[in-house]
Amino acid sequence: MNGWLTRFAATPASTLADARLRAYAVYLLARQGAKPTAALSNVEQELTHRYTERWPTDLAAAYLASTYRLMQRTEDANRMIAKVPWATQRRDFGDDEVYYDPVVHDAQLLYLLSRHFPNRLGSAPPAALETMSTAVSGNRASSLTAAYTLLALDAFAKGAATSTMLGVSEIGKDGRERALTLPDAAIRKTEVSEAAAKVQFARRGTAPAYFALSESGFDRNPPTTEKTEGVEIVREFVDVKGTPISRVTVGEEFLVRLRVRATARERVPQIAIVDLLPGGIEPVLELQAPADSSTPGADPAMQRQQNSTASLPIGLPDKSDWSPSHVDVREDRLIIYGDAGKNAGTFVYRVRANNAGTYQVPPVLAEGMYNRAIVGLSRGATLEVVKP
């Protein structure tokens, strides 16, 4: 692994995003006890020559500063880390960088400061914590930003745990207050009963504290309007001729037609479409998975991505002009991954009715995997399945 990181760090970077990854590789080498002097020099020289004005305020500089700190070059480390601002002080984040946004920047910067420059945390964390907490409360956290946020909060909390005490209690409808027990952990979680009318939080200490309330379940009433925020998604049940239908017979096969397009940009990369199937309906597989897909050195998901719709477990290539990169077929839903373009793309797959009844058809959801502000929601519908 270290050999690969060394070779990767030595390769030229065509963009600042690529150079940032090489700086990350150098930092990982140093974290494992290696002394990547040559790789560090190569990355810094390339950043200086190609991205003279931008790189000192980029996360790449924070990685290199942390590497210098691990190598006991404290003066160089302090000089470099001092120029890296928080996201609130920057305005140059682009939509084309899927894996680098204000949350990723602040989370990684907070983590690096907590581990290697704890003396610089005095007045800086509130700005970073605000950026991360706003993303969580605004439903803009992705799997990547969530992972980086947890990593940063864990490192930051270890330093604040000795000087800050947290408490939480619930107040019932009768006005009585009941203290809740918080486990001793970096992120402390507890359950609030359904009888609670209010939740009260307490803090003693100087470190900032934040809370989050979350609930799970299903909507009692399905959405009645469409949502188009960066991407549009439409679903129809059709027969083999492409005519929309709302009534089928048990045992009958028919088609689901999905149409997806980007509404604000030429291309929206890496979206996930969650197609929740109504009861009594099951997808028809077109391609059975091989008994053994563990070919050494081969990633089955990448192999499918390089092929056409014909290599997916569902889908009709002759009726589709949009090919997802991957389809995950589950018991009650399909999760479809791909990129959306400005022109509407159509994906058609077969389903079979297997149980009589009248079913509510949930809306289909399209959402950016790493940009949760991109959301599309179709209308719900009703499907009737009758006995033959």
Q: DSSP letter string over 13-59?
A: -SSHHHHHHHHHHHHHHHHTT---HHHHHHHHHHHHHHSTTTGGGSH
Q: What is the mean pLDDT of the chain?
A: 86
**Greater confidence, 229 or 372?**
229
pLDDT confidence of residue 200: 92
Which residues share a beta bridge with 358? 384
| Predicted confidence (pLDDT) per residue in 227-277, tens digit | 999 999 999 999 999 999 999 999 999 999 999 999 988 999 999 999 999
Helix axes 102-116, 143-160, angle to 10 degrees: 30
Q: pLDDT band for 163, please (50, 70, 90 cuts).
A: low
| Predicted confidence (pLDDT) per residue in 336-353, tens digit | 999 999 999 999 999 999
| Predicted confidence (pLDDT) per residue in 275-326, tens digit | 999 888 999 998 654 544 445 555 444 444 444 555 688 999 999 999 999 9
* Residue 363 DSSP SS3: coil
| Predicted confidence (pLDDT) per residue in 30-83, tens digit | 999 998 889 899 899 999 999 999 999 999 999 999 999 999 999 999 999 999
Structure tokens at 208: 């900032």
Give the pTM: 0.63
- Mean pLDDT, residues 213-224: 76
**Rounded CA gap, 330 and 367, in Å?**
18
Backbone torsion region of residue 205, taken as left when φ is above 0, otherwise alpha when ψ lies between -120 and 50, otherwise beta: left
* Contact present, 23 and 41 (Cβ < 8 Å): no
**Rounded CA gap, 339 and 364, in Å?**
16
pLDDT confidence of residue 94: 64
- Report the range out of 112-126, 215-229, 230-244 with the highest average pLDDT: 230-244
| Predicted confidence (pLDDT) per residue in 3-35, tens digit | 899 889 888 888 999 999 999 999 999 999 998
Nearest 5 degrees, angle CA 101-CA 113-CA 20? Answer: 45
